[in-house]
Amino acid sequence: MKWLVLVPAAIAVAALLSGFLNHQYRQPRGRHKVKMDLEILGLLPKDSGIRTKLLGHIDATIKGIIEVEDSRRRDWQGIWLAVVFLVTSGSLFYGASENDGDWWWLASGAIVAFVGTMGLLVSGPKRQRDIGGSPIDQVDGDQGRDHVKR
């Protein structure tokens, strides 16, 4: 078996996964962001005009946490399907190593790995979802992006 074919694929998967996890878990969100805003509010002078705006923002953020953030969930069926695609891509890369690295084994493995990775990126993050697991888009207060509500 030629393991040299699998090494670049494993490195690419590890790099994508570490970058994704680093981005997801390093950003302050939710209650941590409210705590930082409350610290800023405490440092502002009592007669500051921005104080009332910041207080309104903190109230809206806490309301959003209570109504939206605590009800977010993952799409576990989509995650399992993505894992099946990723395992299948691994077997295709293994087939490539057994068959002298034929290009169609590698191309098939790359396509299936891409589909599995995209499925994991869509299904993995916690979001408000409907009964079928599809995300319900709305105004995202953390990022400031406007989405059309479905």
- Stretch among 69-73, 93-97, 124-128 having the lowest mean pLDDT: 69-73
For the stretch 121-142, pLDDT in tens is 888 887 777 666 677 765 444 4
At residue 140, φ and ψ (nearest 5 deg) are: -95, 105
Measured between alpha carbons, how far is 92 from 112 in angstroms, rounded to an integer? 9
pLDDT band at 69 (very low <50, low <70, confident <90, very high): low
Q: Which residues pair with 73 in a beta bridge?
A: 127
Residue 149 near residue 137 (C-beta atoms within 8 A): yes
Q: What pLDDT is stored for residue 52 in this prediction?
A: 82
Tens digit of each residue's pLDDT (9 = 90 or more) over 23-65: 766 666 677 788 888 888 888 888 888 888 888 888 888 887 7
C-alpha dist (Å) from residue 67 to 62, 63, 137: 9, 6, 14
Q: Which tens digit of pLDDT belongs to each residue from 72-85?
A: 677 778 889 999 99
Q: Are 54 and 41 in contact (CB under 8 A)?
A: yes
Phi, psi of 127 (to 5 degrees): -145, 165
- Global confidence as pTM: 0.48
Q: What is the pLDDT of residue 126?
A: 77
